[in-house]
Amino acid sequence: MLIFAKRSRAVNRPSSQYEYMSLDDFEELLADKPADEKWELIGGRVVRMMVGARWEHNYIIQNLAGGLRERLRASGSPCRTLVESFRLRSVESDSSTLPDIIVHCRALEPGAAYLTEPTALVEVMSEGSKARDRFEEWAVYQRLPSLRHYVLVERDRAHIEAFDRVGADWAGVRILDGLGQSLALPAIGVSIPLAEIYRDVLTG
């Protein structure tokens, strides 16, 4: 079992660069930002995201989201996938993020622009995002009561790290190395081969 310290609610700190703020203040700031800019709030810290990514990143997201979607529909599951531009909002941790893939199992309200109860989250890591994905975002995501799987996917090699909630606790990380492995997500009843996730990106 992994034990993590609970993070206190972020406080609003004055900064000319909007480094820290509350969720309410961030959403006001976001409303004034150009549509072609991507911003996240992670535990009260404002992060400007890179716009545009390498093609490998995009292919992996398409492969994994598509594979999950097909399997969920085929099994009759109510769960569905959302990618990249849909927000995950957490009032408790002062966070508003844009995960690469969200799996949600509850119906969304018409016109919803964010959700609060994901079942699985996936981040495709680049060299610039690894630390943020593994530590800052994970510190936020592990506190979401609905979350059952958090998956970190390497972009440049066939390597996946998966965290699973078992009952009330988070189990140790599962490491999947090589295209011969499969990513199983028991909470949503699907398994997808790494060879499919990395299709057209990696060979051998």
Domains of the chain are 54-197 (3.90.1570.10)
Distance CA 22, CA 9 (A): 9
Mean pLDDT of the chain: 89
- Cα 13 to Cα 6, 8, 92, distances in angstroms: 20, 14, 17
Name the strand (E) or helix (H) holding 3: none
User: Long-range contact list for 133-136, CB < 8 A, 24+ apart?
Assistant: 136/42, 136/43, 136/45
What's the mean pLDDT in 11-21?
56
From the number of C-beta atoms within 10 Å of its C-beta (0-12, 13-18, 19+), residue 3 rates as exposed
Mean pLDDT, residues 63-76: 98
Look at 2-6, 12-16, 34-38, 146-150 and tell me which has the smallest mean pLDDT.
2-6
> Buried (b) or exposed (e) across 12-37, using 16+ Cβ within 10 A?
eeeeeebebbbbebbeeeeeeeeeee
User: Rounded to an integer, what distance in angstroms lies between the CA atom of residue 102 and that of residue 147?
Assistant: 10
The number of helix segments (H) and strand segments (E) in the chain equals 5, 14
Please give the average per-residue pLDDT across 164-181, as a whole number: 95
- Residue 133's identity, in one-letter code, is D
- Sign of the four-CA dihedral 198, 199, 203, 204: positive
The two tokens of residue 135 are 């530590």
**Which structure tokens are listed for 150?**
């958090």
- The proportion of the chain whose per-residue pLDDT surpasses 90, expressed as a percent, equals 77
Q: Residue 141: which H helix or E strand, with range? A: helix 138-141
pTM for the model stands at 0.88
